[in-house]
Amino acid sequence: KQFTKCELSQNLYDIDGYGRIALPELICTMFHTSGYDTQAIVENNESTEYGLFQISNALWCKSSQSPQSRNICDITCDKFLDDDITDDIMCAKKILDIKGIDYWIAHKALCTEKLEQWLCEKE
């Protein structure tokens, strides 16, 4: 599913303030991480990242390429590619608990200031 900024804002509403992260920071980070696309897959040297939050099979989820993954979120990675982002959000919260928002490289690089543009402007 390809989300819009406003759809994602509504879906991520319960993360607003989680781990002291403001919603616009997260919306910005997701834009630069996956383009709001639940089917985004990025292959790196040692791992693959899945879905909206680009969750890695090195630590967080299990895939056929990573049977040795610690699988901290106790889930198969392909679950992060469907339209239901409930499980993605649960895993993202674990990542925020353990690593913080800077787990997503885009945050520090692109999403620490001028965040007004990431707010959903309701008509």
User: Measured on CA atoms in the order 91, 81, 37, 123, is the torsion positive or negative?
Assistant: negative
Does the annotation place 1 within a ligand binding site? no
5 marked as binding residue? no
Determine whether the annotation assigns residue 84 to a binding site: yes
Q: Check the annotation: does 14 bind a ligand.
A: no
- Residue 62, phi then psi, degrees to nearest 5: -110, 135
Structural contact between residues 86 and 53, judged by C-beta atoms closer than 8 angstroms:
no
Q: Is 102 annotated as a binding residue?
A: no
Distance of CA 40 to the CA centre of its chain: 11
Q: Which two tokens stand for residue 13?
A: 């509403």
At 113, the amino acid letter reads E
Paired tokens of 2: 């390809």
* Residues in the annotated binding site for Ca(2+): 79, 82, 84, 87-88
* Residues in the annotated binding site: 79, 82, 84, 87-88
